[in-house]
Amino acid sequence: MTLEDRPPAPDAAGVGLCATCAHARRVTSARRSVFWLCEMAATDPRLTRYPRLPVLRCPGYERATGADEARTGEEPREWRP
Ligand code: SF4
């Protein structure tokens, strides 16, 4: 999974590691509330499906491709003219 298809994450500081993790998926409810789903929790009992934020330490953390761009809201370098 990459973060390239995600919108910028202005709340990344409040989310913690999930904001740049390959196993995280941002979910918006019908009431426009935002949740962070840990997809790795399905196979790793140490993790929680909807972790309490901000996640500051995590044994499952794996940095996603494009994580720097998602954190800053900048476009990936290869897209620049
Ligand atoms: S593995 Fe950890 S950092 Fe990654 S999405 Fe799950 S809870 Fe968040």
Q: Is residue 81 part of a domain?
A: no
> Ligand 1 within 6 A of 24 CB?
yes
Ligand 1 pocket, 9 CB below 6 A? no
Residue nearest to atom 8 of ligand 1 (CA): 18
How would you classify residue 32: left for phi > 0, otherwise alpha for psi between -120 and 50, otherwise beta? left
Please state whether the predicted TM-score (pTM) of the whole model is above 0.85.
no
17 lines ligand 1 (CB under 6 A): yes
Asked if residues 54 and 15 have their Cβ atoms less than 8 Å apart, the reply is yes
The pLDDT tens digits along the chain (81 residues) read 555 555 445 467 899 999 999 999 999 999 999 899 999 999 999 999 999 999 999 999 999 998 766 555 544 444 444
Q: 67 by DSSP, 3-state: which? A: helix
Range of the domain at 53: 3-58
3-class DSSP state of 25 = strand
Q: Residue 17 domain-assigned?
A: yes
Q: Is 72 part of a structural domain of the chain?
A: no
> Which residues on neighbouring strands pair with residue 58, listed in sequence order?
none
**18: nearest Cα among 42, 45, 50:** 50
